[in-house]
Amino acid sequence: MENREQQDRDKALITDPKQINAAQEHVKVIEWEDFEHELARLCSLTSALKEANKKKQSLQEKLQSFVQVKTESLNQLNELEEIRDRLEAKKVVMESMSTRCNVATEDAKKQEEMLSTEVRSLLVAGTSLSVARKRLQVSNRLLTEERGYIKLKNVQRKLRARQQYMISQVSFLYPVKILVGPAQEQELESYPGSSRLGNTSASKPINQGSLTILGLHLTMLPFTKMSFFTDKKEVQRSATALGYVAHAVSLIASYLQVPLRYPLHLGGSRSYINDHAPSIEPTSSDLSWNAALSANVKSAEFPLFLEGQDTTRAAYAVFLLNKDLEQLLNFIGVKSLGPRHVLANLKELMRTVLSSEFIDT
């Protein structure tokens, strides 16, 4: 292949006129005696040229191979750089995952500790529950028997008797009595009897007179109409009477174990009553009214006295006090006598509790 290319170049040199002329101008005349010497020199040069061409070709091949290796090396280096970058990114991700894993492990340990504590609490509660269940089963067996039922009734009678005794002491401390005779500006014009719930036909005849607590009348007129000419002593006596009623109601509720709907803050003639209900009633269109809102509502305190107070707030306090009395009456199965009959409701409450029917119910 190389000899053919060389022959083609030689033919091109021979057929080109310009090259022929240039060659004729540089023709070197060699003597015959030197011809062999020149021929030998040309042969050696030709062989040297061939050897140089071979070396050149070998060097070109080596250079081409080196360039190819270098290119492959650069490609591999670029790939290695990309792999290194990906490894660095994965390393960052792994470090982040390791941090999250550590945090998750710590959280898991904390939750495990909490769960172990709760499990221990549940085990203790389960043990207590099993003991209570066994006791309940024993109590049920005892109650199913005739003796157990009789024993329960006896315990209830003893409890009622104890409550009756304690409330009798309250009636001695704060006696509510009827004073027969004309009464002016009194709470009641008469004291009607009441009946058990569900039996409205049973009622006592009306007793004319006015009610007092510890000898004090509860005059309601100042609570509805307060003026400059209102008797200050009468106002003070009414406040004292309301303080007596509040203390009696608080004691009776504690003995009967009834939580009052409107708690009392006792202070003698300067007592207060609390209303936990909101001041603004929710409408049907107010869909945002919920239990969380009602839990955040602050209780309002109303005075059970008039001195230095608004008559409306004081009258509302008396109304709430009567509501507490109504709650206690309903608890023992008796109807209230009305929203304005504070002393009458208190007397009826004491009368019903101190009756023999209270122990037998």
> Domain 125-178+209-278+299-360 is classified in which CATH homologous superfamily?
Autophagy protein 6/Beclin 1 (1.10.418.40)
Q: β-pairing, 190-191 with 216-217?
A: unpaired
- Residue 300's SS3 state is strand
Q: Which residue is associated with the tokens 């080109």?
A: 16
CA distances in angstroms from 165 to 76, 128, 154, 155, 358, listed in the order given = 104, 36, 16, 15, 12
pLDDT of residue 282: 45
Rounded CA separation 139/179 (Å): 51
Q: Which two tokens stand for residue 353?
A: 């509790």
Q: How many CB atoms lie within 10 A of CB 236?
A: 15
CA distances in angstroms from 5 to 9, 13, 52, 99, 175, listed in the order given = 6, 12, 17, 72, 146
Contact 180, 209 (CB under 8 A): yes
Q: Domain map of the chain by residue range?
A: 125-178+209-278+299-360
pLDDT of residue 230: 58
Q: Is 241 exposed, middle or buried (0-12, 13-18, 19+ CB in 10 A)?
A: buried
Q: What is the dihedral of CA 58, 61, 62, 66, to 10 degrees?
A: 170
pLDDT of residue 359: 80
Contact 49, 2 (CB under 8 A): no
pLDDT of residue 221: 59
Q: Collect the ranges in the chain with pLDDT lower than 70.
A: 1-33, 143-149, 180-209, 220-231, 277-298, 308-309, 361
Q: Which two tokens stand for residue 257?
A: 């174990």
Contact 334, 194 (CB under 8 A): yes
pLDDT of residue 207: 38
pLDDT of residue 248: 92
pLDDT of residue 26: 60
